[in-house]
Amino acid sequence: MSFDTNFERYAELAVKIGVNVQPMQTLVITAPISTAPFVRKVAKKAYEAGAKHVIMEWSDDELTRLKFDLAPDEAFTEYPLWKAKGLEEMAENGAAFLYVTASNPDLLKGVKLDRISASNKAAGQALHAFRNYTMSDKVSWCVLAVPSPQWAAMVFPNLPAEEQEAALWEAIFRATRADMNDPVQAWHDHHAALNSNVDWLNSKQYRYLHYTAPGTELTIELPPKHIWIGGGGHNEKGVFFMANMPTEEVFTAPLKTGVNGKVSSTKPLSYHGNLIENFTLTFKDGRIVEATAEKGEASLKQLIETDEGSHYLGEVALVPHLSPISQSNIIFYNTLFDENASNHLAIGNAYSVNIENGAKMTKEELEQYGINTSMTHVDFMIGSAEMDIDGETADGNREPIFRKGNWA
């Protein structure tokens, strides 16, 4: 199939499966200016689907780097409140939100970490109310990716420079099913397959998950009435949407204080323009008590110190080693893709929809049920072909969930 055909289908997937634009709905797109050709195609598809407005929020890597290099320290303690309030207002009025990433994993390499930390905290505080709309699935939202030259060069360093972006486009089309004859139907079929595992796990209501792999001996307690989710979800108006493209995971929330043991990463983590590699976290009663990394240890510790909630986990996700992205043997250096090749966990905020009636709970009520809250939510990959996972029932029986990286 031609590039133009796949490109068109990818844009259609963003609109029809990702955010599932409804007639007279506003679509808000956040994207780097380098992705303008793709965004224009998405906007066309959105208007054809009946969108009332397509509102753009552009970014630019070069301007971002200039600010981190040259702006005064005070600039990183502020976030435009008009922007945060505008997002809240659009969410309140039922807008859908599409995030197009075109990451340069090394964008902020060499920047003072205290500047990055201050910027993240300022944004996290200002956007807290808006993020409640997405983290509780009150609105439709979706994250997908488009190649950048820097990202493509990192993923395919052995290809000639003029072939790298094309190779990454091909990998993205394949991972998102855009290269199939009927991508929209393929996604509906995929959603149904993921939900067969969701239904099984929800029927089990395991109390503990026990992880065993090289460098990993970890026990995670799950809260009562936890809910596993996979594939797409529904916003508060009942409209189906797919938050991540690609997605191969089923996930739930851990009990905040119920994580004990040690876990080792199996893929690099790109965190705000810095790579963190080969790291290990040690937990006691849910809290991270030790963190080491072969590369990027300072960035890892900065992430953990974002706020009190970032010392705990907010997500546990299961992904078979035989997932299509894993079998591609490509390290994407991008969490959106790499998390769908590997079992993973997330530092920070939990999704309120992962506990019964959680979407209607306040922050304080969620904490009472053992659901972590934080300004941040960062996934990191821990799965491999050597990982076993057991589920322990409320009466103490242990049953295999994963063996050698795949569903048992």
What is the mean pLDDT of the segment spanning 217-242? 96
Q: Look up residue 312 and give its amino acid.
A: Y
Is the model's pLDDT at 1 over the cut of 80?
Answer: no
Categorize the per-residue pLDDT at 359 as very low, low, confident or very high, splitting at 50, 70 and 90. Answer: confident
What DSSP string runs through 120-163? HHHHHHHTHHHHHHHHTTSS-EEEEE---HHHHHHH-TTS-HHH
- Please list the alpha-helical segments (H only) found in 269-401: 297-304, 324-327, 335-338, 363-368
What is the mean pLDDT of the segment spanning 230-234? 91
What is the phi/psi pair of residue 62, to 5°? -65, -40
Q: What is the pLDDT of residue 274?
A: 85
pTM, to two decimals: 0.89
Residue with tokens 């090394």: 106
What is the mean pLDDT of the segment spanning 183-212? 95
Is the model's pLDDT at 102 over the cut of 90?
Answer: yes
Q: What is the pLDDT of residue 106?
A: 84
Categorize the per-residue pLDDT at 56 as very low, low, confident or very high, splitting at 50, 70 and 90. Answer: very high
Q: What is the pLDDT of residue 61?
A: 94
Q: What is the pLDDT of residue 272?
A: 81
The pair of three-digit structure tokens given for residue 387, joined into one six-digit string: 């990982």
Q: What is the pLDDT of residue 104?
A: 86
Which of 39-48, 59-68, 331-340 has the least mean pLDDT?
331-340
SS3 24: coil
Question: pLDDT, tens digit, for every residue of 294-327?
Answer: 999 999 999 999 999 999 999 999 999 988 899 8
Could you tell me what percent of the chain has a pLDDT over 90? 92
